[in-house]
Structure 1
Amino acid sequence: MIRKPQQNFVVQPLIKTNAVEYRKYQAEIVEKCLERNTLVILPTGLGKTIIAAIVAAHRLLKYPDSKCIMLAPTKPLVNQHCEIFRAVLNLPSHEINAITGTVRPQSRVNILKSSKVILMTPQTLENDLITSRCDLKPVSLLIFDEAHRAVGNYPYVYIAKEYIKQAEHPLILGLTASPGSEKEKIEEVCRNLYISQIETRTEYSPDVRQYIHPIYMEWKTVKLPSDFLKIKTLLETLLKERLKILKEYGYLESSDIKKVSRKNLLELRAKIQSEIAEYLRPPSSLFSVSLAIAEALKLSHMLELLETQGIAPVAEYLTKMKKEAERPGHQKATETLLNDDKLLEVEKLIQKLMKENYEHPKIKETIKIISRHLQSNEKARIIVFTKFRNTAKKLVEELRQIDGIRPARFVGQASKDVDMGLTQKEQLRILGEFKEGIYNVLVATSVAEEGLDIAECDLVICYDAVPSAIRQIQRRGRTGRKRPGRMVVLIAEKTRDEAYFWSAKRKEKVMKQTIKEISTKLHVTSINTTSKSLDTFIKSREELKVYVDNRELRSQTAKYLAELGVKLIPEQLPIADYIVSDRVAIERKTTEDFLQSII
């Protein structure tokens, strides 16, 4: 199907001449993808976007009046894909366009109508589907980048369902480097995207080995100072006291802090909230348990900040708690904790260390690794990943003091407290200047983990370990794309860093085995078309209209109404969330909000 000419480039009417190097494994994957809905799992750097572009070219050739849409979770990624599609496809550039939430709704409608290939963020497409601004009938290929996100209520799930219902010639292509380690999650992704086959390669597959550049993994351990350990012991004692309460009430089997994760506490909090909602007058024991969970979550967060980030982040979190305690309607857990003698002792120790300019030993280690690497290669590009924005800010401040190091902070667009996010324009500018060498170190949060193609990067430093196989693979994938790369993980001894690091490695191993099992068992997904919609009972969809507040568009309620055939009209409503007639307005509330409003 894909012809290989003598000069070793792909030949296809809608692929530009000498634009795409012919690779046998890509050709084989493309042929499979054209047969049925496919999930492609490839290590980073092996051209998942190129495969998507070639599949798009074939679909547009087969269905000349159709369109192709590719979805990606972040704006920088959408723009990156748009550049690649314009470089590869033999189409006028004005027919290949990127659409994000920053484009006005009416402009989006016009772009969708005039384009052959559209690159979009999923939230934007979901909103346009809910409000009937977008029609998927002419779309012959829908591509989901970072397809592992297609779980729960993520927009990919709703979009795939609507696409299968609306499209005249549907075909789905999912792309990911890491679908996750849990069998149930991978199966959920396949169900939600109507996947009927998986095409996968690993770095050890014979047909891709020649295109793989080695990535040398290493980890550096640092010891926490004795004063850090004193604070750590106090916080662990406080946390264990709360876990004991939960165990005494029968909600935990163990009060060992090593056996109770933050995820366990969040799941338990949801369970207790459901139990409280079942009572008109809940028993006091449930409120005691709820208080213990809230305090445990705060303490767990402080411990994580101390172990992986340092003293300053804990101090900032305590300041944030004090401000929260001054506001009316604050959490009781905040006030209770702030008055605890052990936490007061923690605060005194932190203030003492702050005056002495104590820093987490990871900061010095990071500076040392970067300095040595740049000494050996002045043109190197380095990415430092950290979980928290404050840490990114601190690292940039410290790195700026070192000759030869030109750092930039790269974070998401959302503004948090006093921390302003980066606009899309600022993100693109920083990435461009990093590639050009104006900056040689990028200190980034998770926004830079997914998919960004920065070929020049030859060293990745993980300031904090992550327990997720997906995130570990994504971080590693930012290096070794066009030449050998290196990844260094910093681990604080006897902290959760150690557990996170080995957990991610174990999950990655399990993931590869799970993919093999699911690939052999996967069947074509059957689509249930027997359920009745409101169309069965009403003469015309136009007869049923509901005005919905703009803020409600991402709620499940809005999606369900759209699925039932209701025409949703988004507006900034002065009252209520939905207006269904000139006499009836509906305000959607959580149980907790409702109770607060009537007490």
Structure 2
Amino acid sequence: MEQSLIKDIETRTYQEMLFAESANQNSLIVLPTGLGKTIVMLYLVAYFIDKLPDKKILVATPTRPLVNQIAKTFKNHLTIDPDIVLEIDGSTIPKKREKLYLDHTIIVSTPQTLANDFLADRLHTKDFQLICFDEAHRATGNYAYVKIMQLFEVDQLYPRVIAFTATPGNNKEQIMNVLDNLKTKAVLSRFDDDPDVKPYVSSHKPKVIWLELPQVYRDSLKIIEKVEKELVKEIKDRGLLVQGYLSKTLAMDLQKQAVLLMKDDPEKGELLNFTPNLIRILHLRELVETQGLPQASASLTNWIIKPEKKTLKEFLDNPLIKDLHRIISSNPVPHPKLHKLVDLLKSRAIKKDSKIIIFSNYRNTVDFVYNQLHEDDIHCEKFVGQSSGSNASKGMTQKEQIRILEEFKNGNLNILISTSVGEEGLDVGSCDLVIFYDSVPSIVRSVQRVGRGRKKQSEVIRLVTKNTKDAAMYFATRKREKSVVQFIRKELPQIFKSEIKSVTNGNNLINLSSSSKSKDLTNYIAKTEADSNYSASKNNGVNSLKSSPTKNEILKQEVIKIEPLEEKSYIIVDPRERHSSIPRLLKKAGWSISLINLPAGDYKVSEHCIIERKTAEDFAHSVIDGRLFEQISQKLSIYEKPIILLHGSLSNVTINISKQALSGALASIILDFQIPVLQVESEEEAADFIVALAKREQKDNKNLPQVDSISKKYPIQDIQRFVLGGIPGINRSKADQLLETMGSIRSLANADPIDISNLPGFGKTLSNRIHKLMNHDFKEEDSLE
């Protein structure tokens, strides 16, 4: 790598070592927050641009502020033309994104945007030589990082993959899952106690300030404990076993168990009178113990204003809850943490360039602390996420977030009060003081918070309340942190059958003196490249894994078999479905995918055939709220061949609805609307069925799906079908039959019910239903049979 590609960077040995060791093997780099993961990323980008300048580089990071931060680092510290760096996200329309991708070499974006664009062929896997995944601990489940890697695997292309995280997970299972999902076979780590890191981290050990709860808090918790015991007894008496530490997570699991029990024994439905209230009382306990009486009072008041559910009304009618509300509303005593926080801030001489971050788990606590500090003439700003709900304070836009971060970074703002959104990756410079207003159960979040106080004289202070959930979380997180570090350092090397390179291994160190640095780094990389199981191919511009699975091996893992398809064959997919793996499986089967908003359904496989996919859970919800029949009558029925794909078993849904109601809904769809319903057990099975339908419908490239649009020109015949499709029992074929026989909707309205009943497939009940609907006075209340 030419040293001239990078400018204005303070060189650190551990960053250059991590770069050199990762350049020729797919790696997960574990580096605590604040130690410069982005600089390692910068070295890699410069190296690969120099190596294959015609091939693209992809950097995925979870949020828009992080996209902005990384792109700015590249533009400021790469000597190449900054215009080759593209900073982009989903706010740019797809067509424009596609054009911009063509004109840029380095693409920095959010993962969901990238996954969608790979899926829709706006981005092409063959164009990339390097992918960097920021905050890689997110690569679990159905997160977009996982989807991106799956799409590269589908195309049998394996660029260099380098993932970055402060800590890869909360336990061994999560860590191994991340490694597997990102196809990384090496973990390169540095921690605070490593010799080459020590000079750059704080000499102060994190400090814990233990606090006692005032008497009014203890009185409130006694009442809460009584309510908890009452509810647990009621639940146990009805056959559910309550074991282990009583938490909201346990209470939610109990509620799911109650729903499943009720399906086999309706009398077990009584459990659902108690499990929701157990969740509520545990939430109040957490607020009292860790946040404060004012926050607990606000929650109770919101419930009292809008007691929407029967169980909530019963909860609020409990004399103990009434006593609790009276005590906490008449004694709005702030949590002792607040007084301690104010004392900590006032005791420090806050200089012009001082930086202090206060972290809290709850947005309403951020608001409360913000207001209190301003009352004490302490200038500060809030930093929260974008979402906002009816009971939440207003969120921040991405522009507001970026503005606040810039003010904080530049020294125009000294104190930031943040929710978890400020924990992850944001470049705010190292802070003088980081305060944990409450404990966090996650190692990832704890490490990220601590990482904000990395510089030599930084302090980290935790405010912890004795004998509360706060204290339990603090001790549990400390224990898990030690376990994870031990796993990364000691156990992973054995799992990989090769030692993970560490600064403690003196044989791995190279000469990094300023005069020979570039040459030594290049020689070191060349040596590791020769020793690795990778071979670079300049013919296709990507690195091919010698040990990567063959095409046949990959196909054995999937239900769908790839067969040659006509070049024009494609399936229209509604963007809502991008969160499932079905679109990826369709691409794997050789089908082109068009992500287009559909007015009805999820998959359009031909001009006449539309597929609506519903999970069992969603199906049950849509029966309860009435959406199901509205969707069918007003949307699906306008198609000649609508199909409903039911994903999962209705016997396993976790909401309160009887088997009879679900069976009745299915019967109505099949008999009244004449729409077939097919049940599948997996997304692979669903994709297999969609492929079979598409092949049949698009035989010889005929009957290809077209984009529907109601907002533009729309055939009058289709609108007439749409109108009649709103009548229960009328599908597209019956609507066509009526219109062809009667000529118009007006003639149908004036027709004798007997004439309608004489049509094939129409009986007396349906004909009377049509006649009544066409002639009923809107002002008169009535219903159809």
Does the pair score TM above 0.5? yes
Deviation at 1:533, TM superposition (A): 7.1
Match of 1:391, SS? helix
Q: Deviations over 1:238-266 (max 9, x none)?
A: 22322334444554353x7xx12323333
**Partners of 1:144 and 1:397 in 2: how far apart?**
38
1:196 & 1:182 partners in 2: Cα distance? 18
Q: Does residue 476 of structure 1 match 2:450?
A: yes
Mapped partners of 1:286, 1:120: distance in 2: 49
Identity of aligned residues (%): 31
Q: Which residue of the other structure, out of 543, 553, 564, is the alignment partner of 2:569?
A: 543
- The answer on whether the counterparts of 1:453 and 1:478 sit within 8 Å (CA) in structure 2 is no
Q: How many Å apart are 1:595 and its aligned residue?
A: 4.3
- 8 Å contact kept, 1:135–1:166: no
CA contact (8 A) 2:34 2:430 kept: no
| Corresponding position of 1:75 | 64
Q: Take 1:273 and 1:120, find their aligned partners in 2: how far apart are those partners?
A: 41
Partner of 1:372: 347
1:410 pairs, out of 383, 389, 406, with: 383
Structure 1 residues 432, 362: closer, same or farther in 2, change over 3 A? same
Q: 1:510 to 1:470 in 2, by over 3 A?
A: same
Which amino acid in 1 is paired with 2:417?
V
Distance 1:169 1:469 in 2: 31
| 2:419 alignment partner, one of 433, 445, 450 | 445
Separation in 2 of the partners of 1:551 and 1:586? Answer: 12
Matches of 1:569 and 1:339, distance apart in 2:
54
Written as runs of structure 1 = structure 2, the 5 A alignment for 1:279-358 is: 279=263, 282-326=264-308, 330=309, 332-354=310-332, 358=333
Structure 2 Cα separation of the partners of residues 235 and 514 of structure 1: 39
In structure 1, what residue type is equivalent to 2:213? L
* 8 A Cα contact 1:72 1:144, kept in partner: yes
| Distance (whole Å) between structure 2 residues aligned to residue 242 and residue 557 of structure 1 | 42
SS in 1 for 2:375: coil
1:454 aligned residue = 428
What does residue 485 of structure 2 align with?
512
AA matched with 1:87: N
CA distance in 2 between partners of 1:244 and 1:559 (Å)? 48
Q: Do 2:202 and 2:459's aligned partners in 1 also have CA atoms closer than 8 Å?
A: no
Relative distance call for 1:60 and 1:248 in structure 2 (3 A) is: farther
Hey, what's the Cα distance between the residues in 2 that align with 1:23 and 1:563? Answer: 43
1:360 partner letter? H
Gaps in structure 2 of 5+ consecutive residues: 498-532, 534-546, 629-660, 662-785
2-structure distance, mates of 1:132, 1:269: 43
Structure 1's unaligned 5+ residue stretches are: 3-10
Distance 1:578 1:361 in 2: 56
1:359 partner amino acid: P
Rounded Cα–Cα distance in structure 1 between residues aligned with 2:168 and 2:204: 20
Does the residue aligned with 2:90 lie in a helix, a strand or coil? coil
Measure the CA separation in 1 of the matches of 2:613 and 2:46: 47
Q: Aligned equivalents of 1:163 and 1:127: distance in 2?
A: 13
Question: Is the 1:465–1:501 contact (alpha carbons within 8 Å) kept by the matching residues of 2?
Answer: yes
SS at match of 2:464: strand
TM-superposed deviation, 1:155: 1.4
Alignment-mate amino acid for residue 593 of structure 1:
H
**Aligned partner letter, 1:574:** P
Give TM-score scaled by structure 2 length.
Answer: 0.68
Q: Measured at CA, do residues 319 and 109 of structure 1 come closer, stay the same or move farther in structure 2, by a change above 3 Å?
A: farther
Q: Which moved more, 1:34-43 or 1:44-53?
A: 44-53
Q: How far apart are the structure 2 equivalents of 1:501 and 1:409? A: 24
1:6 is matched with: none
Report deviation, 1:136. Answer: 2.0
Measure how far apart 1:453 and its partner are. 2.1
Any conservation in 2 of the 1:136–1:167 contact (CA below 8 Å)? no
Cα deviations across residues 399-418 of structure 1 (Å, max 9, x unaligned)?
A: 11233x22000001112225
Secondary structure, aligned partner of 1:219: strand
Q: Compute the displacement of 1:292 (Å).
A: 2.9
Tell me the residue number matched to 1:94.
83
Deviation, 1:314, is: 1.7
Asked if residue 154 in structure 1 is aligned to residue 143 in structure 2, the reply is: yes
CA distance in 2, matches of 1:541, 1:241: 66
SS of 1:216's equivalent in the other structure is coil
Match of 1:118 in 2: 107
**Displacement of 1:590 after TM fit?**
3.9
Q: 1:560 to 1:368 in 2, by over 3 A?
A: farther
Find the aligned partners of 2:171 and 2:63 in 1 and give their Cα distance. 24
TM-score normalised by structure 1 residue count: 0.89
* C-alpha deviation, 1:515, in angstroms: 1.0
222-231 vs 484-493, which deviates more?
222-231
CA spacing shift, 1:169–1:57, aligned 2, 3 Å: farther
Distance in 2 between residues matched to 1:158 and 1:245, nearest whole Å: 44
Displacement, 1:113?
1.6
Contact 1:181 1:469 in 2 (8 A): yes
In structure 2, how many angstroms separate the alpha carbons of the residues matched to 1:117 and 1:260? 49
Counterpart secondary structure, 1:221: strand
Inter-partner Cα distance in structure 1 for 2:352 and 2:205: 19
**Compared CA separation, residues 595 and 242, structure 1 to 2 (3 A):** farther
CA contact (8 A) 1:180 1:186 kept: yes
- Matched residue SS, 2:463: strand
Q: Which residue matches 2:710?
A: none
- Equivalent residue, structure 1, for 2:621: 593
**Deviation sequence 1:413-458 (CA, Å, 0-9, x none):** 1122252211111111111111233321100000000111222521
Q: 1:43·1:202 contact (CA, 8 Å) conserved in 2?
A: yes
- The aligned counterpart of 1:424 is 398
- Taking a change above 3 Å as real, the CA distance of residues 562 and 263 of structure 1, as seen in their structure-2 partners, is farther
| 1:334 to 1:38, Cα distance in 2 relative to 1, 3 A | same
Amino acid at match of 2:266: S
Q: Quote the Cα distance in structure 1 between the aligned partners of 2:163 and 2:114.
A: 17
Contact map agreement 2:207 2:460 (CA 8 A) in 1: yes
Corresponding residue SS for 1:70: strand
Pick one of 3, 10, 31 that aligns with 1:12: 3
How far has the Cα of 1:556 moved from its partner? 4.4
What is the distance in 2 between the residues matched to 1:555 and 1:475?
A: 32
Aligned to 1:218, which of 193, 203, 207? 207
Question: What is the CA distance between 1:38 and its match in structure 2?
Answer: 0.3
Instruction: Report the CA distance shift for 1:535/1:318 in structure 2 as closer, same or farther (over 3 A).
Output: same
Q: What amino acid is the match of 2:215?
A: S
Using CA pairs below 8 Å that are at least 6 residues apart, which structure has the higher relative contact order? 1
Change (3 A) 1:193 1:291: farther
Hey, what's the Cα distance between the residues in 1 that align with 2:97 and 2:51?
A: 26
Q: 1:85 to 1:160 in 2, by over 3 A?
A: same
Relative to structure 1, the CA distance from residue 267 to residue 295 in structure 2 (aligned partners, 3 Å threshold; closer, same or farther) is: same
Measured in 2, the distance between the counterparts of 1:556 and 1:480 equals: 40
Q: What is the deviation of 1:352?
A: 1.4
> 1 CA distance for matches of 2:93 and 2:422?
26
Q: Do 1:410 and 1:443's aligned partners in 2 also have CA atoms closer than 8 Å?
A: yes
Does the 8 Å contact 1:216/1:485 carry over to 2? no
Describe the SS at the equivalent of 1:227.
helix
CA contact (8 A) 1:139 1:167 kept: no
What is the distance in 2 between the residues matched to 1:373 and 1:556? 53
- Root mean square deviation, CA, Å: 2.5
How far off is 1:566 after superposition? 4.2
Structure with higher Rg: it is 2
Partner-residue secondary structure (3-state), 1:345:
helix
